[in-house]
């Protein structure tokens, strides 16, 4: 059964999308983080370029229907495994200092 509940469409799948997009944009996440660490309070002004590059990368993934379908398929696979085994797979958490 691949019918999705509201919480799956609006919360769980978007969470997978955010995590995977951050992984795929990790070079831009690192550049923005490094800029922020080096500039301190002036980061709003000095890290504009890095912030824009990061936003563009993330939004590119968020608005890609193929990426959504890929993340949806991943979610459905995890849901199927959970229903079959009763064991919830720990979600890999992407960490950064943003």
- Summarize pLDDT for 32-51 with one digit per residue, the tens: 999 999 988 888 889 999 99
Q: What ranges do the domains of the chain cover? A: 6-80
Residue 85 near residue 77, CB atoms below 8 Å: no
Distance CA 76, CA 73 (A): 5
Looking at every residue in the chain, the average pLDDT score rounds to 89
Residue 95, pLDDT above cutoff 60: no
Interior angle at CA 17, CA 12 and CA 93, nearest 5: 80
Distance CA 52, CA 39 (A): 16
Residue 13 near residue 61, CB atoms below 8 Å: no
Residue 96's pLDDT band, with cuts at 50, 70 and 90, is very low
Distance CA 67, CA 75 (A): 12
- pTM tops 0.85: no
């Amino acid at each position: 059964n691949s019918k999705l509940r509201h919480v799956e469409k609006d919360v769980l799948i978007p969470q997978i999308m955010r995590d995977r997009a951050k992984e795929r944009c990790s070079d831009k996440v690192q550049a923005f983080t490094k800029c922020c660490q080096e500039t301190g309070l002036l980061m709003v002004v000095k890290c504009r370029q890095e912030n824009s590059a990061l936003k563009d990368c993330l939004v590119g993934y968020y608005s890609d229907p193929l990426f959504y379908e890929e993340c949806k398929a991943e979610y459905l696979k995890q849901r199927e495994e959970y229903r079959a085994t009763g064991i919830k797979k720990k979600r890999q958490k992407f960490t950064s200092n943003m």
